[in-house]
Each structure stands twice: as C-alpha cells, then as structure tokens.
Amino acid sequence: MTAPADYAAALRDEALAALDRAGVPGALESWRVEYLGRSGKLTAALRSVAQLPPEERRAAGAAANEAKALLERRLAERRAEIEAALAQNAGAGALDVTLPGRPVPEGRHHPSTIVMREIQAIFRDMGFQIAEGPEVEWDKYNFEMLNIPQDHPARDMFDTFWLDANRAPDGGFTTLLRTHTSPMQARIMEAQEPPIRVIIPGKCYRYEATDATHESQFHQIEGLAVDKGVTFANLKSVLYDFARRMFGPDTRVRFRCDYFPFVEPGVDMAIEWRGDWLEILGAGMVHPNVLRAAGYDPAVYSGFAFGMGPERIAMLKYGVNDIRLFLANDHRFLSQFR
C-alpha cells in the first residue's frame, strides 16, 4: 500500500503536469476545483490525514500541506503567465474598428482582354453581333468548308495541331485545334439565314516556332457580313472606320492584295504607325465556294470577312516588342495595363 506521504507527492506531480497543460483561464479554474477545491483531491487527502494512525499523521500531514502550498504557488504563477500571454496576443491581433480597412490589391485586365474589348466595342457600335465557337474543331470547318480541301497547298499556311480524337478509318486526322477563327464563318452561315453581321473573338493555335511576333497560342477576332448586295466598298468603309476609331482619326490605312483561299479578292490591311506600315489583318469578299458550302446562293448573296490578331494590335498600341510576354505570366509586365 502507498504510504500517505507518497500519495500526496504523487498527487502533487499529477496536479503539476495537469497545470502545465491548462492553457486558458477556464482550464485553470477547472484544475483548481479538481485539486484544491472543497471536494478536490488534495483537500480530500488533507482531510484523510486525521484518520491516520498518530505515528503516520505527522509525515503525511506535512507532505500534504507542502503539496498544497506548492500547488497554490504554481497556480498563481501559471495564472500570471497565461494572463501575460493573453494580453500580448490581444495587443497584436486587436480589432480596432476605427482603423481604415486594409486596401485590397486591385485586379487588372490582361492586355489582350483590354484590346479585345476595345475592338468588340467598336464593332458592336457598328451593329455587329458577337459570337463564340469551339477551339477544338473539325477539319471540315477549319479547312474544307473554307475552300481548302484535303491536300490543298494552302493547308501549309496553317501549321496545325492535329488531335488523335475521331481518327478516320484510314487513320487520317479529322479534329484539330482551330488555326484561326474563320471556321466560325462556316458554322454561322450554316446555322442562320442572312443578313449576318457578326464578329467572333477567340483563341487560336498554330504549331509553329515561336518568336517575337509568333506565338503558338494567340487570339483572333473574325468578322463576317453577308447579305444581298454587300460590296468591297462596304468592307473598306467598315475597316477604315475601325482603324480610325482604334488608332486615332488621322490614321492612314493601306490595302494590298493578299491570298486566302476563302476570299476573292483577298487583301491585307496595314495602318501607318509611327512612320511604318504595319499589317493588322487579312480580309476579302467571301469566296462563292464558301457561300455555296454553307448553303447560300452566291448569285443572290455576297459578303465580306476579315480576321485580325489582337495581340499584334496590343503590341502596336502599347509598344510591346515581344509577343511571348503576353503568356509569360510575369506580373511586372501584366501590372502595367489597366
């Protein structure tokens, strides 16, 4: 059997360990009640000293009293420690409702987004609708319906990311990442009747070596207008108007012949910018084969189409000398635009 003095010492050690674990004022109070309260363990031990045989009473009483004094002292010390820690934390994390709020860093738009929105707003003003289409596209829309059949040499103009999905029985590719937004010309004409006046912004992909003016992922904004009696003069006036709204009212514009299989005649348009002529888009009258493929009678309807690259336009407007900065995700670059 444990001697009463040893029992008091064991109780003391147990209480000290429990005290170390008590970290908040409420836990200290529970501890006090458990060991030093009126029905506490140590109080009970002290009381039981009276029932001991006289020869044990002295040692047991002394041990229990010593333990009690020690625990009371440690309780006071522990309370002071906890209060000091709380006071320090309260100072550090104090909620002062009179302080002004912390500023939330303002988000910014990507330069491509800024330029695309600007371009879209100009065409919206002119009465164009805005449509979007799939980035994973069928060969049929990206090429065939645009007057670029299988094995047509113009396919070399577009270095294509082909996809493994839906391979033809002979193993040929049928799906790809669209190389331009022009497939939406075919999709829109196939789905609706003229009159059509629409622009299509979206991402395009080309399997080409990147350099300061070529990325493998970039945006285009396609434009398409189809109706009875649409002429090349309409195309020119819309694009002149666009250029002057986008780059300033005195901007000079130049058209030169260019070749795209889906337009006839085809042109590229350049603007005069800081003394240089810079091409900003390809355009032309929708090729009769494209109208026919979509189910329109080219004897009745005509149309124009154009396609431009917003990143190249952003490079001009903001003086960016390397297109790869747009997707490099460097905050020092991106934070310069609003």
Peptide bond into 195 cis (omega under 30): yes
Q: Indicate the residue whose CB is closest to ligand FA5.
A: 309
Contact region with ligand FA5 (CB under 6 A), list: 53-61, 234-242, 303-311, 329-337: 303-311
CA distance 134 to 144: 16
Task: Determine if 183 is a binding residue for ligand FA5 (CB under 6 A).
Answer: no
Q: What residues numbered 267-296 form the site for ligand FA5, per CB under 6 A?
A: 279, 281-284
Residue 187 interacting with ligand FA5 (CB under 6 A): no
Q: Which stretch of DSSP H or E encloses residue 220?
A: strand 217-227
Under rule CB under 6 A, residue 306 binds ligand FA5: yes
Q: Which stretch binds ligand FA5 (CB under 6 A): 8-16, 62-70, 207-215, 246-254?
A: 207-215
Q: What whole-number distance in Å separates Cα of residue 311 and Cα of residue 113?
A: 9
R_g over Cα of the chain = 41
Which position among 78, 197, 287, 312 is part of the footprint of ligand FA5 (CB under 6 A)?
312
- Given candidates 111, 183, 303, 309, which one binds ligand FA5 under the rule CB under 6 A? 309
Q: Is 26 exposed, middle or buried (CB count within 10 Å of its CB: 0-12, 13-18, 19+)?
A: exposed
For residues 186 and 227, give the distance between their C-alpha atoms in angstroms, rounded to a whole number.
15
Q: Is position 180 an interface residue for ligand FA5 (rule: CB under 6 A)? A: yes
Q: Which of 45, 122, 188, 305 binds ligand FA5 (CB under 6 A)?
A: 305
Q: Quick check: 323 binds ligand FA5 (CB under 6 A)?
A: yes
From 1, 65, 74, 4, select the one nearest 32 (Cα to Cα): 74
Q: Is 60 left (phi over 0), alpha (psi -120 to 50) or beta?
A: alpha
Please, which residue, 74 or 214, has the CB nearer to ligand FA5?
A: 214
Residue 159 binds to ligand FA5 (criterion: CB under 6 A): no
Q: How many residues bind ligand FA5 (CB under 6 A)?
A: 25
Our finding on whether 311 is near ligand FA5 (CB under 6 A) is: yes
How far, in Å, CA of 272 to CA of 254, rounded?
8
Would you say 77 or 190 has its CB closer to ligand FA5? 190
Q: Which residues 6+ apart lie within 8 Å of 307 measured at CB?
A: 180, 181, 182, 220, 221, 222, 223, 281, 282, 283
Q: From edge to edge, which strands make up the β-sheet containing 129-130?
A: 129-130, 196-205, 217-227, 302-308, 276-286, 263-273, 253-258
> Quick one: which segment of 42-50, 74-82, 294-302, 305-313 binds ligand FA5 (CB under 6 A)?
305-313
* Closest distance to ligand FA5 from the beta carbon of 167 (Å): 25
Q: For binding to ligand FA5 (CB under 6 A), which residues are involved?
A: 180, 182, 206, 208, 214-215, 218, 220, 222, 260, 263, 266, 279, 281-284, 305-309, 311-312, 323
